[in-house]
Amino acid sequence: MENIVLKATSRNLIGKKVKVLRREGLLPAVIYGRDVDTIPISLNYHEASQILPGVTSSQFIVIDVEGEPHTTLVRERQRDPVTWKLIHVDFQELSMTEKLRTAVSLVLTGEAPAISSYGGVLVTGQDSLMVECLPADLPERIEVDLSTLQEIGDAIYVGDIVAPKNLEILTDLEEMIALITAPVTVEEIEEEEAEELEAEVEEPEVIEKGRKEEDEEE
């Protein structure tokens, strides 16, 4: 896995005072970890905003704080609710000798024969897996081959995934990743809409009947 390197500087401004940094084109962030002191840092906003949105939760980022490297994972990205711009980032520093838990993205590859042969529809479920492993064994992504989906009703579950060496999958093995369903016809759609409309009409009638019976009892 290729590491991304971001240069940073330590900062003294904290709390509401970090607004000054943002006006100067800097992005406030922190590096934290087990048995290490939290390090408040500033990143170049333009550089960080170009790189961080595409970084996954299992992709290493080396934060170079004034010449001192810190191998990290992105743990939280805070954004402005109006502009959606990054306003703060939390990085977790890793110990290469301690196992970590994080999510790894699933990437669907190949084509499902059931789609081309029978007009099946691909329904997706889980798009990531929670895993536990040493940092050195952490994959950036896990690929899922759709070519095994031969017939309508075929599915791939978490339990079908062969975990890479030295990696433990923590996600429920019965969770669905991909499923092929039969195509829905126009007639089925119209029938379903008609049933929904009929139910909407019947419900007020039942309520009105109930009210009338209550009035008669009184």
pLDDT tens-digit map of 169-209: 999 999 999 999 998 765 555 566 666 666 666 555 555 55
Average pLDDT over residues 127-151: 95
> So what's the pLDDT on residue 145?
96
**Of 39-48, 66-75, 140-149, 177-186, which gets the smallest average pLDDT?**
177-186
Main-chain phi, psi angles of 211, to 5 degrees: -65, -40
pLDDT at 156 over 70: yes
Average pLDDT over residues 117-128: 94
Tell me the sheet residues that pair with 4: 61
Q: Which residue has the higher pLDDT, 18 or 10?
A: 10
- Cβ-based neighbour number of residue 178 at 10 Å: 22
> So what's the pLDDT on residue 192?
62
- Cβ burial of 142 (10 Å; 0-12, 13-18, 19+) is buried
Rounded to whole angstroms, the Cα distance separating 111 from 147 reads 5
> So what's the pLDDT on residue 177?
97
What's the whole-model pTM score?
0.74
pLDDT at 24 over 80: yes
Rounded to whole angstroms, the Cα distance separating 123 from 112 reads 11
pLDDT at 163 over 80: yes
Rounded to whole angstroms, the Cα distance separating 104 from 90 reads 18
> So what's the pLDDT on residue 16?
75
Rounded to whole angstroms, the Cα distance separating 31 from 214 reads 66
Q: Which residue has the higher pLDDT, 1 or 194?
A: 194
* CB within 8 Å of 4: residues ≥ 6 apart: 51, 55, 59, 60, 61, 62
Contact 79, 125 (CB under 8 A): no
Contact 39, 72 (CB under 8 A): no
Q: Which residue has the higher pLDDT, 37 or 209?
A: 37
pLDDT at 134 over 80: yes
pLDDT tens-digit map of 49-102: 999 988 988 999 999 999 999 999 999 999 999 999 999 999 999 998 999 999
